[in-house]
Homo-oligomer: A and B are copies of this chain.
Amino acid sequence: MDTSLLQNHIQKHINLNPSETQLLTSVLIQKTISKKEFILRQCEPCQHIHFVLSGLLRAYHLSDQGKDSTVMFATKEWWITDMHCFVNVLPAMVNIQAVQDCVLLQLSRESLDRLLERVPQFERYFRILMENAYSREQLRMIQNLSNTAKERYWAFLKKYPDIAAHVTQKQIASYLGITPEFLSAIRAEKG
């Protein structure tokens, strides 16, 4: 198991000594999953948070009417879970599916809680992660409320070119909150 990518990510924010690092790596489980496989399904318990070593995943909600809404994509060096349900111990609202083959490091709620208790430094690391995640969502919300679908599409391409290059337009449309047909019309307009 190669945890160096995660260790680098962590060391950007806090400094761990070898025994703390050891404690972390001892509770991580490496998972290799294939394209289209699910690591979480709606309505099931959400017991893990995942750090992406390689590959690409998509978290999406399916409404009662079958509408597909993409909550987030996660690529290399991102953490992903259904945070609302992970935090509040509720059944998942989203499906998380591999868009490409992935290698992940999986951390359970219990292991994370123990880690946070034993190594207060981790509180800082996750506080910073959560700050960033929250502020990113707040920014996305502002942009969704104030911009048209066309503006949101071009902004998405600019902000996440690497993700845009590896997901389908159907999935981008689902992230933007529009239909694939309408995205197609937007692209035809000026491409």
Contact = CB atoms under 8 A, between A and B. Distances in A.
Interface of A: 61, 63, 67, 69-72, 82-84, 86-88, 93-94, 116, 120, 123-124, 126-127, 130-142, 144-147, 177
A141 B71 contact: yes
B67 A146 contact: yes
Nearest to A123: B123
Contacts of A93: 139, 142
Nearest to A59: B138
Contact of A138 (B71, B123, B142): B71
Copies of this chain: 2
B134 A123 contact: no
A147 B144 CA distance: 14
Contact of A83 (B63, B138, B177): B138
A127 B144 CA distance: 26
A69 B134 contact: no
A174 to B, nearest CB: 8
Nearest to A127: B127
Nearest to A88: B135
Contacts of A146: 61, 63, 67, 69
10 contacts: A61-B146, A67-B146, A69-B145, A84-B136, A87-B132, A116-B127, A127-B127, A130-B133, A137-B141, A140-B141
A142 B174 CA distance: 11
Nearest to A67: B146
